[in-house]
Amino acid sequence: MPRSTLTSKGQITLPKQIRDHLGVQTGDRVNFEIRDGAVVVEPETIDIRSLRGIARRRGKPVTLADMDAAIRKGASRR
């Protein structure tokens, strides 16, 4: 069974076996919950639908033909 030591600041290091099992990496967040007297550690996940609208479009959408034309125009300047 993996073990960890509590620091004077109340911090612990999750053992590698636990990090691998949870699929977490440096910088990821985890949630703690007490369930039926046991502490449960789960990775914090974000519902992809909550990200909708986070990136705003500016102006009208650009077509592939417009992109190709801009590339040709830029290349002809060299």
Q: Report the candidate in 20, 19, 15 with the shortest Cα–Cα distance to residue 4.
A: 15
70 part of a folded domain: no
- pTM, to two decimals: 0.55
Would you say residue 52 lies in a domain?
no
Structure tokens at 59: 């102006």
Q: Please enumerate in sequence order all residues whose Cβ is within 8 A of that of 15, keeping only pairs 6 or more positions apart, or say none.
A: 2, 3, 4
Give the model's pLDDT for residue 77: 73
Domain count, the chain: 1
Expressed as residue numbers, the domain containing 38 is: 1-47
pLDDT over 90 (residue 27) = no
CA neighbor of 44 nearest in space, from 16, 70, 23, 21: 23
Is residue 43 one of the residues assigned to a domain? yes
What CATH number should be reported for the domain holding residue 9? 2.10.260.10
| Domain-embedded: residue 74 | no
**pLDDT tier at 59, thresholds 50, 70, 90:** confident
Q: What percent of the chain has pLDDT over 70?
A: 96
Q: Is residue 55 part of a domain?
A: no
In order, the DSSP letters of 29-55 are -EEEEEETTEEEEEE----GGGGTTSS
Within a domain: 35: yes
